[in-house]
């Protein structure tokens, strides 16, 4: 049986947001985090938070067991540097989100 857990997001870098669950030791103070809602799974919390934010990553401390989900890895494997070569800037993928309405049958 699932139990709902409170989820929060906090600003990680200027462009990325971290998704935490209640009780994480790295969860920022209340004035620098946003309550997402009470969800049953981290994936559900991610879906909810994607409606308001983009570039969301799971917190590697409190949600490390779900990093296999569809979110981009927080720390991609380092590339072997070529002489004088620079890594091209990554373009963020635009995600098309549609609100899902559940009508009673």
Catalog residues that contact Zn ion under the rule CB under 5 A.
Answer: 20, 24, 26, 59, 61-62
Find tokens 């969860």 and name the residue.
27
Q: How far, in Å, CA of 41 to CA of 22, rounded?
A: 12
Would you say 48 and 64 are in contact if contact means Cβ atoms under 8 Å apart?
no
Would you say 4 and 38 are in contact if contact means Cβ atoms under 8 Å apart?
yes
Question: Among residues 13 and 96, whose Cβ is nearest to Zn ion?
Answer: 13
- Nearest CA among 97, 70, 3 for reference residue 41: 3
Give least dist CB 49 to Zn ion, A.
13
Give least dist CB 34 to Zn ion, A.
14
Question: Among residues 26 and 35, whose Cβ is nearest to Zn ion?
Answer: 26
Give least dist CB 15 to Zn ion, A.
18
Question: Among residues 61 and 72, whose Cβ is nearest to Zn ion?
Answer: 61
């Amino acid at each position: 049986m699932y139990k709902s857990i409170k989820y929060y997001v906090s600003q990680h870098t200027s462009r990325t947001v971290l998704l935490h669950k209640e009780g994480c030791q790295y969860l920022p103070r209340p004035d620098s985090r946003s309550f997402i809602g009470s969800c049953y799974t981290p994936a559900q919390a991610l879906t909810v938070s994607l409606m308001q934010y983009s570039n969301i990553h799971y917190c590697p401390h409190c949600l490390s067991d779900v990093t296999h989900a569809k979110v981009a890895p927080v720390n991609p494997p380092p590339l072997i540097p070529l002489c004088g070569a620079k890594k091209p800037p990554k373009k963020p993928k635009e995600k098309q989100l549609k609100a899902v309405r559940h009508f009673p049958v």
